[in-house]
């Protein structure tokens, strides 16, 4: 019994340590100095980093790329100042991560979504509940499936490229691994897959696309 109690206490302590570690490593957007808060001191840290006077530790860099860009700049410092002045509630990088997430079968893909009415309407729908789209191969260059809803259209005649995510006829999603020219509304582009990876992912039978927020 004593041994069991000892094991139980050890397990509780271990879980507590893990919880504390997780809390300590959780990213706080805008926290450059790692003190757990966002303040004018973080603006100063970024300014000194950009001027190469005092570099921000590597483990804190991702938290201060609040603009969503890959290189730290004075723009990030300005955004933190605006955040502290309560000009907005969420940094651009935060909003970007809160966008629509796509998986093709069980493979997550990164999509750079367009800033238009169709994507805004799609985002609103996906925020309510995940959307599953059953896709079918067509023409040897695309997968197409019904969204089960109509989105605002702004069709223009375009030539697609592999990775393009397109709205067709207002209610169908098309994902390309080849190219076609037609009147479409752009939704986005898969940015983290090569043409060869897209072909392997999309050209070997019908796929299921899941959109979540």
Q: How many domains does the chain have?
A: 2
What averages of pLDDT result for each successive group of 10 residues across the chain (213 residues)? 50 41 62 94 96 93 88 95 92 79 95 92 94 97 98 97 98 98 97 95 98 93
* Containing structural domain, residue 37: 2-95
Query: What pLDDT is stored for residue 115 in this prediction?
Result: 84
- Looking at 95, 118, 143, the residue that finishes a domain is 95
Last residue of a domain, one of 95, 130, 147: 95
pLDDT score at 21: 38
Q: What are phi and psi of 22, to 5 degrees?
A: -65, -40
pTM: 0.61
Question: Among 70, 95, 120, which residue terminates a domain?
Answer: 95
Q: What is the CATH number of the domain that holds 60?
A: 1.10.1330.10
Q: What pLDDT is attached to residue 99?
A: 84
> What pLDDT, on a 0 to 100 scale, did the predictor assign at position 62?
86
Q: Looking at the structure, do residues 106 and 199 belong to the same domain, yes or no?
A: yes
């Amino acid at each position: 019994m004593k041994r069991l109690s000892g094991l139980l206490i050890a397990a509780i302590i271990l879980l507590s340590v893990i919880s504390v570690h997780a809390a300590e490593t959780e990213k706080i957007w805008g926290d450059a100095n790692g003190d757990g808060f966002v303040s004018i001191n973080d603006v100063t840290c970024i300014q000194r980093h950009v001027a190469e006077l005092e570099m921000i530790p590597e483990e804190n860099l991702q938290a201060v790329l609040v603009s969503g860009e890959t290189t730290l700049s004075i723009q990030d410092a300005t955004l933190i100042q605006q955040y502290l002045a309560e000009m907005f509630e969420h940094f651009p990088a935060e909003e970007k991560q809160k966008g629509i997430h796509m998986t093709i079968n069980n493979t997550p893909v990164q999509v750079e979504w367009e800033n238009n009415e169709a994507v805004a309407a799609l985002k609103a729908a996906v925020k309510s509940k995940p959307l599953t789209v059953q896709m079918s191969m067509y023409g040897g260059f695309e997968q197409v499936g019904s969204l089960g809803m109509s989105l605002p259209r702004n069709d223009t005649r375009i030539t697609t490229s592999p990775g393009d995510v397109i709205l067709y006829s207002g209610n169908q999603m098309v994902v390309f691994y080849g190219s076609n020219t037609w009147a479409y509304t752009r939704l986005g582009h898969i940015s983290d897959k090569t043409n060869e990876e897209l072909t392997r992912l999309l050209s070997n039978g019908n796929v299921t696309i899941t959109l979540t927020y």
